């Protein structure tokens, strides 16, 4: 397994701050080796757009505390939004999800996966993933097979105009307080779910065959300790899985690769310029050979606003490229991240240390080998209670940004 530390090489200031980073201290499985990534990408800041909101997605009916927008996912013209705080008549946080679809420039509601139980805190919708006709929904405080708040994840299939539950995914070896389903990811017939409360944390890979979901692998950190929170964030693209462990010192993110049906640790990403409160790995995303890792509390004590780190794979090696940093007074930058083909979105949803902030999200693009800030995303009617940027999703030129603190919550669509 390779271990990569992201170190600052220089700071490029032109509007927002993007610090080029290199990669050092790479240790392979078979031999020790050191690699210098060089100066990293050049970055320029010009022509930053402020696109208008294309659509505001809200629950049909909701109440303050529903936390609609805590989790969002996009696939083609379909969106799924989680509201894990949605309560039943007795006040239990059963949770809910809401479906939307786009036709041209218009968004409309469509059927959404629903929990099959009430009378208990489940927080169904705390995490969501969507790929074609398959949806995966996390319910991390469900009293699943492992006991109190062991957690569950539910797989659904779209058929005949509605979502039908296909399977309930649980870890065979999970225990109370494991919070399985805190984070979920889905790609084709592969599903990934994190259980950050199970000791140092665990992530599980599942594979669907002939309509049945079976656990394929248990993904674990190396040299871990209790409360590392491995599995707080997960991402999946093809044969590559990324898992964040934001409680492991300043935080670590791990890359796993699947070969011939077997998952193996391939790399561990660590920021060299971090301290123990940075929460590096609180959010992760992967698309092809690009990984984006959020550190929403980077330099927090010194007034810093967080950061997001870009890593890229060349052959079998991963290299740190740039550190994306906010332009203004945002806090929590890197709490949510998404990456696509040459585009990245980073959310900064505000923090308790900055109660007057409304939250923002920034869009970046890679052009001619350089990452540049392309757009500021913000709702027109934000106020001081908002948590805009809590969750972000990206599909093609469409971005979706969640705000789970505004009344029952909302999600905003933008065209980049």
The predicted-structure confidence for 68-92, as pLDDT tens digits, reads as follows 999 999 999 999 999 999 999 999 9
* pLDDT for position 240: 98
Range with the poorest average pLDDT among 126-140, 174-188, 244-258, 339-353: 339-353
* pLDDT for position 359: 87
* pLDDT for position 299: 77
Q: What is the mean pLDDT of residues 132-139?
A: 98
- Give Cα 289 to chain centroid, integer Å: 17
* pLDDT for position 65: 93
Is residue 386 predicted with pLDDT exceeding 90? no
Is residue 355 predicted with pLDDT exceeding 70? no
* pLDDT for position 324: 94
* pLDDT for position 42: 41
* pLDDT for position 303: 60
Name the pLDDT band for 268 (thresholds 50, 70, 90): very high
Between β-strands 360-367 and 370-377, what pairing exists: parallel, antiparallel or unpaired? antiparallel
Backbone angles phi, psi at 302, to 5 degrees: -90, 10
* pLDDT for position 383: 63
Q: What is the mean pLDDT of residues 355-361?
A: 74
pTM comes to 0.89
Name the pLDDT band for 301 (thresholds 50, 70, 90): low
User: Quick one: DSSP state of residue 301?
Assistant: T
Q: What is the mean pLDDT of residues 243-269?
A: 96
The predicted-structure confidence for 24-37, as pLDDT tens digits, reads as follows 223 333 322 222 23
Distance CA 24, CA 7 (A): 7
Name the pLDDT band for 46 (thresholds 50, 70, 90): low
Q: What is the mean pLDDT of residues 356-376?
A: 88
Distance CA 85, CA 402 (A): 14
Nearest to 67 by CA among 90, 47, 87, 45: 87
Q: Which of 147-151, 174-178, 179-183, 208-212 has the highest mean pLDDT?
A: 179-183
Domains of the chain, earliest start first? 2-415 (2.130.10.130)
* pLDDT for position 174: 84
Average pLDDT over the chain reads 86
Distance CA 86, CA 12 (A): 44
* pLDDT for position 356: 55
Nearest to 19 by CA among 330, 367, 307, 314: 307
* pLDDT for position 191: 99
* pLDDT for position 23: 34
Distance CA 285, CA 158 (A): 25
Name the pLDDT band for 225 (thresholds 50, 70, 90): confident
Is residue 52 predicted with pLDDT exceeding 90? yes
Higher pLDDT, 226 or 269: 269
Is residue 161 predicted with pLDDT exceeding 60? yes
Q: What is the mean pLDDT of residues 145-156?
A: 94
The residues, any chain, with a CB within 8 Å of residue 98's CB and separated by 6 or more, are 57, 59, 60, 68, 80, 81, 83, 109, 112
User: Quick one: DSSP state of residue 25?
Assistant: -
Is residue 358 predicted with pLDDT exceeding 90? no
Query: Can you point out the beta strands (E) in 38-121?
Result: 55-57, 71-75, 78-83, 96-103, 106-110
Q: How many CB atoms lie within 10 A of CB 27?
A: 14
* pLDDT for position 346: 97
The predicted-structure confidence for 8-24, as pLDDT tens digits, reads as follows 332 222 223 333 343 32
Range with the poorest average pLDDT among 29-43, 149-163, 244-258: 29-43
Quote the radius of gyration of the chain (alpha carbons, Å).
20
Is residue 332 predicted with pLDDT exceeding 60? yes
Higher pLDDT, 337 or 63: 337
* pLDDT for position 326: 84
Is residue 40 predicted with pLDDT exceeding 50? no
């Amino acid at each position: 397994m390779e271990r990569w530390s992201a170190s600052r090489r220089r700071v490029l200031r032109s509007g927002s701050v993007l610090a080029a980073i290199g990669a050092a201290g790479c240790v392979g499985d078979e031999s020790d080796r050191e690699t210098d990534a060089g100066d990293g990408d050049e970055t320029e800041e010009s022509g930053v757009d402020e696109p208008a909101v294309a659509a505001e997605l809200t629950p049909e009916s909701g109440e303050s505390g529903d936390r609609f927008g805590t989790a969002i996912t996009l696939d083609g013209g379909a969106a799924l939004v989680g509201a894990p705080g949605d309560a039943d008549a007795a006040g239990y946080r059963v949770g809910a999800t809401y479906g939307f679809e786009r036709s041209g420039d218009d968004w409309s509601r469509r059927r959404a996966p629903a929990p099959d139980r009430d009378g208990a805190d489940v927080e169904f919708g705390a995490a969501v993933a969507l790929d074609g006709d398959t949806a995966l929904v996390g319910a991390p405080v469900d009293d699943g097979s492992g006991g109190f708040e062991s957690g569950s994840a539910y797989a659904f299939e779209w058929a005949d105009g509605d979502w039908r539950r296909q399977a309930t995914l649980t870890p065979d070896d999970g225990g109370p307080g494991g919070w399985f389903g805190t984070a979920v990811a889905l790609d084709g017939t592969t599903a990934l779910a994190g259980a950050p409360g199970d000791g140092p944390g665990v992530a599980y890979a599942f594979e669907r065959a002939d309509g049945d979901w079976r656990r394929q692998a248990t993904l674990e950190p190396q040299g871990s300790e209790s409360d590392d929170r491995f599995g707080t964030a997960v991402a999946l693209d093809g044969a590559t899985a990324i898992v964040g462990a934001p409680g492991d010192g300043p935080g670590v993110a791990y890359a796993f690769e699947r070969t011939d049906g077997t998952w193996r640790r391939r790399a561990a990403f660590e920021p060299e310029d971090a301290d123990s409160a940075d929460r590096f790995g609180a959010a992760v995303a992967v698309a092809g050979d690009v990984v984006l890792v959020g550190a929403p509390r980077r330099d927090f004590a010194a007034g810093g606003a967080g950061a997001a780190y870009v890593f890229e794979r060349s052959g079998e090696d991963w290299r740190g490229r740039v550190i994306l940093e906010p332009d203004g007074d945002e806090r929590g930058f890197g709490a949510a991240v998404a990456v696509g083909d040459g585009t990245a979105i980073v959310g900064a949803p505000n923090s308790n240390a900055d109660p007057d902030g409304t939250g923002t999200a920034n869009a970046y693009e890679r052009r001619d080998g350089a990452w540049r800030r392309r757009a500021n995303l913000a709702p027109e009617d934000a106020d001081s209670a908002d948590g805009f940027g809590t969750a972000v999703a990206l599909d093609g030129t469409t971005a979706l940004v969640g705000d789970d603190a505004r009344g029952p919550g909302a999600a905003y669509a933008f065209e980049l």
